[in-house]
């Protein structure tokens, strides 16, 4: 077949035909065409299909689609293809709410039915625990609970950062970067962001047009406005706007003094602030200075130019049976630089599960590692005797301490430093103990030294909150090999329409191996040898122990003995 775009001959391959031998003689080449059925989704949201064992990664394809794709990059055992045509749409394919979903790359799986997204994420967590974590599938079936989804999986993000630039005609635009590029896709109405984003962005862009305020040009390092950050407190309704500006650099903008002696960072700044101030919920407007030639969005210097320095939001506790809201909640004060979970609805569910898994009675000492601004720590403090939080970012620790004070919490203490350094010091030099340890590490998972110190402290329970189920599985495998067993696992869909998923795991310390033995006499004619050849389930083992001895046992102890004895 002739590739009309490039004028290069391209071969056609169909997964329904035995068309080639997967030996050394075959080599897929760029511009070849493949017809393939999509069976899975990759880590970056691309569809995965196979033709005679040869793996194809096809962006924008959905599980169940039968597609025709053009090879853009070929390797010996796999290739990357561009979706040319959907020959047979998947039963779970839907019309995306956002018309830019393919260009933007932020919502990799928005074209998939939401329930199918949840099923995919549940499988993703389970498969990582099986493949990387080395779990017994029967045990995993016992401890893994249904994924926690959203009733409305749109407009859930309380924070968005919009790059500002110009299009080919020189018109000012704001939106999101196209996947793996710095080309801005103009979009002021993201389906995942709050509805106020559109009004705020259009207001700022109109002001920039009116007063000829230039957008930042990252290639030249010139211009003023780089990004627009918008945050909203879902419980409070308070809105924050922060303009990231290239102010004061040699090639940037030099501002003067506005009316009333206020520092003026933008032309006719007071007029813009008056317009923004009319938007319902507007509470804070600030500028953040960033003159560096970098991909990092925020700078370190922030100036509030209207309203308050921070906005407030409340994370409420939820009933983990039906996730209905409860009266209890922690108020957080959020600055432009604060880390704060972007999906407050699912965060409440996730943290309520963490509290449930921790099993606190009010007498425990709890350590919260990688604690951020103390969101989990302060959630736990109301049910624990004392909570220690560890976080590497000094500003986050300062926020955590302030949030504790604002909520009248005096049994939470926070330390600045790496978890793998602070924890050994506090344990080995100061003798601080732990009944429960909660970890919520970055995607790379826990440092080995941190895990080793956790094991030395021998907490009764470890609650592991993870944003990457692969590193979760790796770390849990290590902990299981050192005297802990998994009791509960649950996935939480923190980021609908993306491939990302949060997970939470409860590990409990295994008891001593001083087991109570039961002597049972069996006659050969009592045995059903056919049935004996099959595996006993955990429920059958528990029932048997209960009938023979009156004792109860738990899945994790049974799993331990099955691993040792078969």
Cβ atoms of 79 and 58 closer than 8 Å: no
Q: By 3-state DSSP, what share of the chain in percent is helix, strand and coil, each rounded to 5?
A: 25, 30, 45
| 467 tagged catalytic | yes
Q: What angle do CA 437, 443, 446 make, to 5 degrees?
A: 35
The token pair that represents 468 in the structure block: 């990457």
d(CA 131, CA 470): 9
Burial string for 30-55 (b: 16+ CB within 10 Å, else e) reads: ebbbbbbbbeebeeebbbbbbbeebb
Query: How many residues in the chain?
Result: 566
Measured CA to CA, the distance from residue 202 to residue 342 in angstroms comes to 22
Secondary structure, 3-state, 203-258: HHHHHHHHCCCCECECCCCECCEEEEEEEECCCCCCEEEEEEECECCCCCECCCEC
Measured between alpha carbons, how far is residue 290 from residues 163, 273, 299, 338 in Å? 13, 21, 4, 16
Q: Which of 482, 451, 483, 481 is nearest to 464 (CA)?
A: 451
**Angle between helix 114-131 and helix 469-480 axes, rounded to 10 deg:** 40
Exactly one of 107, 190, 288, 467 is catalytic; which is it? Answer: 467
Rounded to 5°, the CA angle 282-298-468 comes to: 100
The full 3-state SS of 383-447, as one line of letters, equals CCCEEEEEECCHHHHHHHHHHHHHCCCCCEEEEECCHHHHHHHHHHCCCCCCCEEEECCCCCCCC
Helix axes of 448-457 and 469-480: crossing angle, nearest 10 degrees = 40
Look up tokens 């009733």; give the residue: 151
Q: How far apart are CA 174 and CA 189, in angstroms?
A: 10
In whole angstroms, what is the distance from residue 135 CA to residue 48 CA?
A: 25
Nearest to 558, CA basis, from 482, 130, 540, 550: 540
Q: How far apart are the first and last CA of the chain?
A: 58
Which two structure tokens, joined as six digits, stand for 137?
């599938």
Q: Which of 551, 558, 548 lies closest to 519 in space, CA to CA?
A: 548
The C-alpha atoms of residue 208 and residue 225 are separated, in whole angstroms, by 9
Active site amino acids: 467
């Amino acid at each position: 077949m002739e590739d009309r775009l490039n004028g290069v001959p391209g071969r056609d391959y169909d997964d329904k035909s035995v068309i080639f031998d997967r030996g050394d003689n075959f080599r897929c080449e760029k511009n070849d065409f493949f017809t393939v059925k999509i069976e899975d989704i990759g880590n970056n949201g691309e569809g995965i299909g196979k033709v005679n064992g040869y793996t194809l990664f096809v962006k924008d394809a959905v599980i169940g689609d039968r597609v025709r794709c053009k090879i853009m990059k070929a390797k010996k055992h796999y290739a990357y293809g561009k979706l040319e045509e959907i020959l047979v749409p998947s039963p779970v394919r839907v019309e995306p709410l956002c018309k830019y979903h393919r260009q933007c790359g932020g919502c990799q799986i928005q074209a998939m039915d939401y329930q199918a997204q949840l099923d995919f994420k549940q499988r993703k967590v389970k498969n990582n625990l099986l493949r990387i974590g080395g779990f017994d599938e029967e045990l995993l079936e016992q401890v893994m609970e249904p994924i926690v989804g959203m009733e409305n999986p749109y407009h859930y993000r309380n924070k968005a950062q919009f790059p500002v630039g110009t299009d080919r005609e020189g018109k000012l635009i704001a939106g999101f970067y196209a996947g793996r590029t710095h080309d801005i896709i103009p979009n002021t109405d993201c389906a995942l962001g709050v509805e106020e984003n559109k009004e705020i962005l259009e207001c700022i862009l109109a002001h920039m047009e009116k007063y000829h305020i230039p957008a930042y040009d990252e290639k030249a390092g010139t211009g003023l406005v780089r990004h627009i950050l918008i945050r909203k407190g879902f419980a409070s309704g308070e809105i924050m706007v922060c303009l990231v500006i290239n102010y004061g650099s040699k090639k940037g903008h030099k501002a003067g003094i506005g009316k009333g002696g206020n520092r003026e960072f933008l032309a006719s700044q007071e007029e813009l602030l008056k317009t923004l101030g009319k938007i319902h919920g507007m509470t804070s407007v600030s500028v953040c200075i960033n003159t560096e030639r970098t991909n990092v969005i925020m700078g370190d210097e922030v100036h509030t130019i209207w309203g308050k320095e921070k906005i407030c939001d409340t994370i409420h506790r939820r009933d983990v049976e039906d996730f209905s809201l409860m009266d209890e909640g922690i108020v957080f004060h959020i600055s432009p630089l604060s880390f704060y979970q972007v999906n407050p609805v699912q965060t409440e569910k996730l943290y309520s599960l963490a509290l449930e898994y921790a099993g606190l009675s009010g007498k425990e000492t709890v350590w919260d590692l990688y604690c951020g601004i103390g969101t989990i720590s302060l959630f736990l403090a109301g049910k624990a005797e004392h909570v220690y939080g560890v976080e590497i970012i000094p500003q986050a620790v300062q926020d955590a301490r302030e949030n504790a004070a604002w909520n009248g919490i005096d049994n939470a203490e926070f330390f600045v430093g790496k978890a793998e350094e602070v924890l050994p010091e506090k344990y080995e030099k100061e003798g601080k103990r732990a009944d429960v340890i909660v970890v919520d590490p970055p995607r790379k998972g826990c440092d080995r030294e941190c895990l080793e110190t956790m094991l030395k402290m021998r907490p009764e329970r470890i609650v592991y909150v993870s944003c990457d189920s692969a590193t979760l599985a790796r770390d849990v495998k290590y902990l299981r090999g050192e005297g802990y067993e998994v009791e509960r696992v649950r996935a939480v869909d923190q980021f609908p329409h993306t491939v990302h998923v949060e997970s939470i795991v409860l590990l409990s310390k295994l008891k001593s191996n001083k087991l109570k033995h039961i002597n049972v006499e069996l006659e050969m004619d009592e045995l059903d040898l056919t049935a004996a050849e099959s595996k006993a389930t955990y429920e059958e083992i528990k029932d048997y122990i209960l009938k023979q001895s009156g004792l109860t046992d738990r899945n994790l102890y049974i799993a331990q003995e099955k691993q040792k004895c078969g």
